[in-house]
């Protein structure tokens, strides 16, 4: 592919004339990267097999990893799935539009290239005004994975998308930062109870407010890395900066001490070390490439900054990254899920 057009659109004052152009590109089989409330997505017409294949090609994505289909109104789900169970209706009513994707039995209209041959399809209705308007104007359901090169951290700012995909897609819409900063929660709604296949913006605790029981795919719980995840994408290495990431987990004083010690050791043998920490601990590390994800009191800020921080280490050319762990409560569960994947399960547990 040759030229990528970049359009700047203000999400608070959307210029509908400009938005018409990428909407038409989508409808006519092209690829468009756009902001959502979770991360930037790379979209194509979900009903056009040739268009969807361009997504896989631009990202270098394995073809056995299915895509999420995005819609702009709840009723647009009807032709895409076989049936909508009561629990799915309840979930959509409460959390759509928003950062949650549901898995249901697919209808015959969904091409195989979307589902990687599964008999289910993932559907999401994003709340970001640009995403919502773009899908509406394109008049087609929009298949969209995160708009990063496969394996890299998901993009939370337009500059990340431009870095990864300029020259590989038709259009990039630059529309500011993403609110959540982590990909949507993926929930299988084909069973009796919701089952979380990927933790994300809507937490297990949020779901428990409306469902008596909420299950979690055992394969995504730590310590079960030998099980095969029900969501194909969860089996791949992900979110990897160039440098090796190691997570240090323990009480905060021990963690800081251990990271300080490891940093000295590695620097002695000539490695450049990066530290991923929090506002509360930042001052405790001597100079070097020290990046804070935000305050431990605000897990939403930490979620928002994680991927950008991982990408920043690439620019700083570090050889090794030591990362503090955070509490696995609420959104902290999704944050630690992404961090552990970025680290390839490399976690040093202290004090046990």
In the complex, the smallest distance separating the C-beta of residue 234 from ligand TXA, rounded to whole angstroms, is 5
Q: Which does 151 bind (CB under 5 to 8 A by kind): Mg ion, ligand TXA, none?
A: none
29 vs 232, which CB is nearer to ligand TXA?
A: 232
In the complex, the smallest distance separating the C-beta of residue 269 from ligand TXA, rounded to whole angstroms, is 36
**Residues in 205-234 at the binding interface with Mg ion, rule: CB under 5 A:** none
For CA atoms 136, 111, 121, 307, the dihedral sign is: negative
Say whether residue 150 binds Mg ion (CB under 5 A): no
Q: At which residue do the structure tokens 């609420």 appear? A: 330
Sequence-separated (6 or more) residues with CB below 8 Å from residue 341: 237, 238, 239
146 vs 304, which CB is nearer to Mg ion?
A: 146
In the complex, the smallest distance separating the C-beta of residue 173 from ligand TXA, rounded to whole angstroms, is 12
Q: Which does 36 bind (CB under 5 to 8 A by kind): Mg ion, ligand TXA, none?
A: ligand TXA
Q: Which of 72, 146, 231, 278 binds Mg ion (CB under 5 A)?
A: 146
237 vs 295, which CB is nearer to Mg ion?
A: 237
Q: Which does 217 bind (CB under 5 to 8 A by kind): Mg ion, ligand TXA, none?
A: none
65 vs 260, which CB is nearer to ligand TXA?
A: 65
Say whether residue 31 binds Mg ion (CB under 5 A): no
Binding interface with ligand TXA (CB under 6 A): 36, 38-39, 41, 65-68, 101, 103, 115, 118, 120-122, 124, 144-146, 183-184, 186, 197-198, 230-234
Say if CB 131 and CB 107 are below 8 A apart.
Answer: no
Closest CA to 333 of 222, 189, 211, 177: 222
Q: At which residue do the structure tokens 């999401």 appear? A: 124
Say whether residue 185 binds Mg ion (CB under 5 A): no
How many CB atoms sit inside 10 A of residue 185's CB?
28
d(CA 321, CA 263): 9
Q: How many helices (H) and strands (E) does the chain have?
A: 10, 16
d(CA 213, CA 184): 20
198 vs 296, which CB is nearer to ligand TXA?
A: 198
Give the CB-nearest residue to ligand TXA.
233
Burial status of residue 21 (CB atoms within 10 A of its CB: 0-12, 13-18, 19 or more): middle
Is the previous residue joined to 315 through a cis bond, with omega within 30 degrees of 0?
no
For CA atoms 17, 178, 314, 151, the dihedral sign is: negative
In the complex, the smallest distance separating the C-beta of residue 347 from Mg ion, rounded to whole angstroms, is 22
174 vs 278, which CB is nearer to ligand TXA?
A: 174
In the complex, the smallest distance separating the C-beta of residue 58 from Mg ion, rounded to whole angstroms, is 13
Interface residue list for Mg ion (CB under 5 A): 146
């Amino acid at each position: 592919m040759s030229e990528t057009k970049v359009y700047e659109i203000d999400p608070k004052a959307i210029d509908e004339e400009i938005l018409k152009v990428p909407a038409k590109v989508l409808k006519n089989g092209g690829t468009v990267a756009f902001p959502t409330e979770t991360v930037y997505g790379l979209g194509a017409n979900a009903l056009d097999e040739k268009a969807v294949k361009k997504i896989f090609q631009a990202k270098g994505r394995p073809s056995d990893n299915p895509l999420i289909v995005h819609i702009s109104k709840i009723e647009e789900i009807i032709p895409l799935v076989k049936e909508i169970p009561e629990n799915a209706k309840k979930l959509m009513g409460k959390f759509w539009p928003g950062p949650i994707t549901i898995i249901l039995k697919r209808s015959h209209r969904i091409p195989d290239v979307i589902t990687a041959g599964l008999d289910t399809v993932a559907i999401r209705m994003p709340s970001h005004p640009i995403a919502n308007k773009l899908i509406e104007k394109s008049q087609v359901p929009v298949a969209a994975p995160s708009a990063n090169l496969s394996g890299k951290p998901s993009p939370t700012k337009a500059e990340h998308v431009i870095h990864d995909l300029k020259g590989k897609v038709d259009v990039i819409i630059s529309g500011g930062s993403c609110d959540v900063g982590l990909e949507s929660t993926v929930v299988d709604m084909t069973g009796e109870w919701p089952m979380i296949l990927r933790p994300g913006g809507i937490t297990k605790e949020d779901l428990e407010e409306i469902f008596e029981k909420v299950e979690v795919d055992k394969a995504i719980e730590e310590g079960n890395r030998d099980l095969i995840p029900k969501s194909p994408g969860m089996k791949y290495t992900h979110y990897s900066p160039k440098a090796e990431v190691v997570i240090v987990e323990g009480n905060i004083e021990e963690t800081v001490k251990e990271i300080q010690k490891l940093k000295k050791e590695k620097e002695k043998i000539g490695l450049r070390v990066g530290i991923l920490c929090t506002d509360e601990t930042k001052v405790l590390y001597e100079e070097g490439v020290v990046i804070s994800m935000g305050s431990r009191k605000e897990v939403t800020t930490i979620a928002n900054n994680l991927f950008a921080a991982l990408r920043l280490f690439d620019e700083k050319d570090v050889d090794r990254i030591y990362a503090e762990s955070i509490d696995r409560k609420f959104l902290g569960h999704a944050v630690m899920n992404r961090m552990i994947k970025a680290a390839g399960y490399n976690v040093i547990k202290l004090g046990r």
